[in-house]
Amino acid sequence: MKQYDYLIVGAGLFGATFAHLAHLKGKKSLVIDKRSHLGGNIYCENIEGINVHKYGAHIFHTSNKKVWNFVNSIVEFNRYTNSPVANYKGELYNLPFNMNTFFEMWGVRTPAEAQAKIDEQKAEALAKMKADGVEEPRNLEEQAQILIGKDIYEKLIKGYTEKQWGRKCTELPAFIIKRLPVRFTFDNNYFKDSYQGIPVGGYNKLIDGLLVGVETKVNTDFFDNRKYWESIADKVVYTGQIDEYFDYQFGKLNYRTVRFETEVIDEANYQGNAVVNYTEAEVPYTRVIEHKHFETFGDAVYDNPKTVISREYSTEWSDGMEPYYPVNDVKNNKLAEKYRMLASKQSNVIFGGRLAEYKYYDMAPIIEKAFDAFFEV
Ligand SMILES: Cc1cc2nc3c(=O)[nH]c(=O)nc-3n(C[C@H](O)[C@H](O)[C@H](O)COP(=O)(O)OP(=O)(O)OC[C@H]3O[C@@H](n4cnc5c(N)ncnc54)[C@H](O)[C@@H]3O)c2cc1C
């Protein structure tokens, strides 16, 4: 008999959900995390009474009723609706592309006028490609223009995409943008999902709720004493980097990361919205997040005379930085597949979560994955 049924490496949403399900079934888990706090990337740091999303803005959204009911059984969610605004050289546009955006861009007032304008611009882009003797779009710039036309591409897509990828749109492959959805309604709700919101009191409440009755240890790196941690539980649930688990034997996987510059401002309401995208290339950051707008609405914004903002800089990843987004190019996908093959042969280890799968997942799918992993055991 070992001390624990599960040793769970990583107190992120995957590890915490798995631990919660195990606890409900009367199983004993120990959750360890190398960071100084629980919660993984959804952890919030309280600064000036405001929950600051330390690892990037997180908005919970799903159409899966089971997942929505599950998270709401742990903590109540508020009515936050993601409606980002784009700032292009001081001009403001609503996102995602909808009738408000088209009115702001061209002064068009009806869906028919907007459609006609977009069709006209798409036709111009196609004609230009034809004149250049080009059949298929050769890069992201050409692809975006035949999908949406020049104005929206140049003001709302070009600079932002170049900052995100660290490369010119003319050097990026066309397949990155398959579709550019447009809405011919005055609807600024970014997500199409049936449910969205932020936990009342912040994400730490969700994690703490999931981990009620579960033993946890922070500042504890699995690899500092791997043999010991493996010896104390029947099974290991591993949510760290998959290449690290296998000692990087085939080489290191690559990521893209984000650097955050967080600042307290002596102003109650800095930008009037949680998310403002800066879409011109000349501004070095991609977005400014004003965290209080995730949890306070209307006049309540003025109850706290201060605010906290984070500027986000999309950055090339190197050792020691946070590995945020997998790079899904051919080289990294092949490497990840080799590690996944090794993982599938480890009978006593469950690999789960975004790092152990080397796949980007939103929070709701991560919860579904943790459910699947637990009930497959
Ligand atoms: C910038 C950014 C913004 C995002 N925004 C959204 C959003 O708006 N909406 C949405 O639905 N999703 C969003 N996501 C996705 C969301 O963050 C993930 O779905 C979720 O956090 C994944 O949980 P996880 O448990 O797999 O990973 P993580 O949260 O990364 O947890 C893994 C944990 O394992 C720990 N760990 C790793 N190695 C070891 C080790 N050797 N020993 C001990 N501990 C270890 C880490 O410290 C970490 O705490 C965003 C992601 C990023 C990167």
Q: Where are the domains of the chain?
A: 4-78+193-254+326-376, 102-177
Residue with CA nearest ligand 1 atom 39: 240
DSSP H or E run through 69: helix 65-74
Q: Angle at which helices 158-165 and 140-148 pack, to 10 degrees? A: 150
Is 360 part of the annotated catalytic residue set? yes
Mutation test of ligand 1: which of 239, 258, 349, 367 has the most ligand atoms closer than 8 Å to its C-beta? Answer: 239
pLDDT for 196 equals: 98
Residue with CA nearest ligand 1 atom 13: 362
Tens of each residue's pLDDT in the chain, 377 residues: 899 999 999 999 999 999 999 999 999 999 999 999 999 999 999 999 999 999 999 999 999 999 999 999 999 999 999 999 999 999 999 999 999 999 999 999 999 999 999 999 999 999 999 999 999 999 999 999 999 999 999 999 999 999 998 889 999 999 988 889 899 999 999 999 999 999 999 999 999 999 999 999 999 999 999 999 999 999 999 999 999 999 999 999 999 999 999 999 999 999 999 999 999 999 999 999 999 999 999 999 999 999 999 999 998 899 889 999 998 789 999 999 999 999 999 999 999 999 999 999 999 999 999 999 999 86
Could you give the count of Cα atoms lying within 13 Å of 117 in the half-sphere of its Cβ? 19
Catalytic residue (choose from 228, 248, 302, 360):
360
Q: Give the Cα separation of 130 and 163 in Å (integer).
A: 29
Spatial CB neighbours of 133, under 8 Å, sequence gap ≥ 6: none
Is 287 part of the annotated catalytic residue set? yes
C-beta separation of 306 from 268 below 8 A: yes
**Comparing C-alpha atoms, which of 9, 4, 68, 6 is closest to residue 352?**
9
Tokens at residue 168, please? 């010119």
39 lines ligand 1 (CB under 6 A): no
Residue with CA nearest ligand 1 atom 38: 240
Residue with CA nearest ligand 1 atom 3: 56
How remote is the CA of residue 13 from the centroid of ligand 1, in Å?
7
Ligand 1 atom nearest to CA at 322: 53
Assign 195 to helix, strand or coil: strand
Mutation test of ligand 1: which of 33, 36, 41, 242 has the most ligand atoms closer than 8 Å to its C-beta? Answer: 41
Is 256 part of the annotated catalytic residue set? yes
59 lines ligand 1 (CB under 6 A): yes
Distance from the Cα of residue 109 to its chain's centroid = 34
Residue with CA nearest ligand 1 atom 46: 10
What fold characterizes domain 4-78+193-254+326-376?
Answer: Rossmann fold (3.40.50)
How remote is the CA of residue 1 from the centroid of ligand 1, in Å?
32
Q: Give the Cα separation of 328 and 326 in Å (integer).
A: 6
